[in-house]
Amino acid sequence: MKNTALTLLFIVILCGGCASTGVSSQNAVIHAKNQAAPALVHIRPVKEVFQRGRRREVLITGSGFIISPDGYVVTNEHVAGRSSLVRCVLGDKTEVSAVVVGTDTFTDIAVLKLDTDRTDLPFVTMGESVGLEAGQTVMALGSPHGLARSVSMGIVSVTDRYLAGNNGQSISPYNNWIQTDAAINPGNSGGPLVNLRGEVIGINTRRLSSADNVGFAIPIDVAKRVVDEIIETGKVTRSTTGLKFQEMTRKTDDPAQRGVVISDVDPLSPAFQARIRPGDILTAVNGIPTHARFVEDLTTVRNLVADVPVGSEVTLSIRRGTQAADIAMKTAEKSRFVGEESEFEAWGCSLSELSPDVIRRAQLTSRNGVVTSGVRPGGLAANAGLKPGDIILRIDDSEIQNLSSFKEIFDGLIEDGTPLVLLTVKNGALSRFVLLKQEPLAEIQGEN
Specify whether the CB–CB gap between 369 and 362 falls below 8 A. Answer: no
Beta strands 83-89 and 40-51 are: antiparallel
The single residue of 42, 83, 104, 108 carrying the catalytic annotation is 108
Phi, psi (deg, nearest 5) at residue 279: 100, -20
Give the separation between CA 63 and CA 149, rounded to whole angstroms: 9
Give the separation between CA 351 and CA 349, rounded to whole angstroms: 7
The single residue of 157, 170, 172, 189 carrying the catalytic annotation is 189
Concerning whether 42 is annotated as a catalytic residue, the answer is no
Within 10 angstroms of residue 141's Cβ, the number of other Cβ atoms is 26
- Cα 268–Cα 271–Cα 277 angle in degrees, nearest 5: 100
Concerning whether 108 is annotated as a catalytic residue, the answer is yes
Give the separation between CA 440 and CA 151, rounded to whole angstroms: 58
Give the separation between CA 299 and CA 348, rounded to whole angstroms: 41
CA-nearest of 202, 189, 182 to 126 is: 202
Phi, psi (deg, nearest 5) at residue 112: -110, 160
Name the burial class of residue 144, with classes exposed (0-12), middle (13-18) and buried (19+) by CB atoms within 10 angstroms of its CB.
buried
Give the separation between CA 27 and CA 196, rounded to whole angstroms: 10
Specify whether the CB–CB gap between 437 and 420 falls below 8 A. Answer: yes
CA-nearest of 60, 62, 58, 57 to 73 is: 62
The single residue of 63, 78, 280, 352 carrying the catalytic annotation is 78
The separation between CA 95 and the C-alpha centre of its own chain, rounded to angstroms, equals 27
Phi, psi (deg, nearest 5) at residue 147: -85, 95
Concerning whether 297 is annotated as a catalytic residue, the answer is no
Q: By three-state DSSP, how is residue 430 classified?
A: strand
The percent helix, strand, coil of the chain (3-state, each to 5) is 25, 40, 40
The catalytic site residues sit at: 78, 108, 189
